[in-house]
Copies of this chain bind each other. A is one copy, B any other.
Amino acid sequence: MKIKYTLLHKDTNTKARYGTLTTNYGTFETPIFMPVGTQATVKTLDTDELKAIGSAVILANTYHLWLRPGEDIVFKAGGLHKFMNYQGPILTDCGGFQVFSLASPKDISEEGVVFKSHINGERLFLTPEKSIEIQNKLDSDIAMSFDECPPYPVTYEYMKKSVERTIRWAKRGKIVFNNPNQSLFGIVQGGEFENLREWSAKETVNLDFDGYAIGGTSVGEDKPTMYKMIEYAIKYLPEDKPRYLMGVGEPTDLFEGVERGIDMFDCVLPTRLARHGHAFTKYGKINLKNAKYKDDFNAVDKSCDCKCCANYTRAYIRHLLVANETLGQRLLSIHNLRFLIKIMEDIRIAIKNDKFLDFKKEFYKSYKQGEDDEKRI
């Protein structure tokens, strides 16, 4: 079946909204953060651990799964849920972002993108039709329309041509889309140009998707520009459909996105930071490889309810990281993901009680203070 978004409450002070999204694999509340399972696994975690941290929906990458193991293997397994043993909703991206960021050189034409595989250099050709066909076979709950995600900055002329082509690509994808169990989201682009964001949003909405994403943020622009990009686009998106801000996962950016009306976020940041030994805490990010933690027998974050913080110390995690033991990266991945998921849980409660801005203020006060402390050390 198609997903169904229900708007349940609008914050009285901001554009933040609380709702639910019903999928083939259950109903979850929004706004929500989605862990990224690039290659049909959220790096270092198993599916029991995803459940334990309260993960309701995850993202998987079409580009990566197309290359390995190939969409036909996943199809033969009975779809992505069965293949990776995850009985929760899954969103697949369209592959565009990876093609434009990982693969090079590439050659963009009206037809699609020619590029070289980042694994073996093989010449590959991805088109809107191919992206949708792969996603139909992966059988995710939500598929994404194929788009170009230009870097920042590009000229107005380039961006105008790009968004116009992305709309033509979106139409072509819709035509071949063929999976009754899957929903399809359109993607708004347009960079920092207000009128292009407006045009892209209106044209995308005209195509009538099951949800709408804002793409092309977190590609090099500064924070004020990013927040403007959201504002330029979101006012043209319908209230009765979910809105997804792609690739954003800094704790403060989650607040800024929610405040502007975003329902869904995804980002590799929490797991990537973990693999480099960094942890989110109530008082900002810390680097656990730092020598000062070698005999610190406190939890990574005393206020956190995750398995890592309940059972292990900073000293032990540091030892694991220094000794190259993957358990250290796993425990920090669990913690960092739980940290963002818990923020979203608290944000939802705050919205329901019309206290979003109070909660934001409280969070920023301790989090930003800690960030400054860490930089000073």
> Which one of B40, B295, B311, B326 contacts A76 once the chains associate, using CB atoms below 8 Å?
B295
Give Cα A311 to B68, complex, Å: 20
In the complex, what residues of B have CB within 8 A of residue A331's CB?
46
> Which one of B41, B73, B315, B326 contacts A315 once the chains associate, using CB atoms below 8 Å?
B73
Q: Is A43 an interface residue (CB 8 A)?
A: yes
B69–A322 touching, CB < 8 Å:
yes
Q: How far is the CB of A37 from chain B (nearest CB, A)?
A: 10
- By beta carbon, the residue of chain B nearest A323 is B39
B43–A325 touching, CB < 8 Å:
yes
Q: Is A368 an interface residue (CB 8 A)?
A: no
In the complex, what residues of B have CB within 8 A of residue A76's CB?
295, 297
In the complex, what residues of B have CB within 8 A of residue A320's CB?
39, 41
Within residues 300 to 325 of chain A, which ones have a CB less than 8 A from any CB in chain B?
Answer: 307, 311-313, 315-316, 318-320, 322-323, 325
In the complex, what residues of B have CB within 8 A of residue A315's CB?
69, 73, 77, 83
B68–A323 touching, CB < 8 Å:
yes
Q: Is A85 an interface residue (CB 8 A)?
A: yes
Q: Is A44 an interface residue (CB 8 A)?
A: yes
Given known A-B contacts A294-B73, A319-B68, A44 and B313 have beta carbons under 8 A apart: no
In the complex, what residues of B have CB within 8 A of residue A278's CB?
none
Tell me what chain A mostly uses at the interface: helix, strand, loop, or mixed.
helix
In the complex, what residues of B have CB within 8 A of residue A330's CB?
46, 326
- By beta carbon, the residue of chain B nearest A47 is B311
In the complex, what residues of B have CB within 8 A of residue A316's CB?
40, 77, 83-85
Q: How far is the CB of A13 from chain B (nearest CB, A)?
A: 42
Q: Is A102 an interface residue (CB 8 A)?
A: no
A45–B295 touching, CB < 8 Å:
no
Interface string of A314-345 (1 = CB under 8 A from B): 01101110110111011100000000000000
In the complex, what residues of B have CB within 8 A of residue A322's CB?
68-69
Give Cα A141 to B329, complex, Å: 28
Given known A-B contacts A45-B327, A73-B295, A311 and B85 have beta carbons under 8 A apart: yes
In the complex, what residues of B have CB within 8 A of residue A39's CB?
319-320, 323, 325
- On A, residues with C-beta under 8 Å from B are 39-41, 43-48, 64, 68-69, 73, 76-77, 83-85, 294-295, 297, 307, 311-313, 315-316, 318-320, 322-323, 325-327, 329-331
Extra contacts, 19 of them, besides A48-B307, A326-B329 (Cβ < 8 A), are A39-B320, A40-B319, A41-B327, A43-B325, A43-B326, A45-B327, A46-B307, A46-B331, A68-B322, A69-B294, A73-B315, A73-B319, A77-B297, A77-B313, A83-B313, A85-B311, A85-B312, A326-B326, A326-B330
What are 26 A-B interface contacts by the 8 Å CB criterion?
Answer: A39-B320, A40-B316, A41-B325, A43-B325, A43-B326, A43-B327, A44-B326, A44-B327, A45-B327, A46-B307, A47-B311, A64-B323, A68-B319, A69-B294, A73-B295, A73-B315, A73-B319, A77-B295, A77-B313, A77-B315, A83-B313, A85-B311, A85-B312, A85-B316, A326-B326, A326-B329
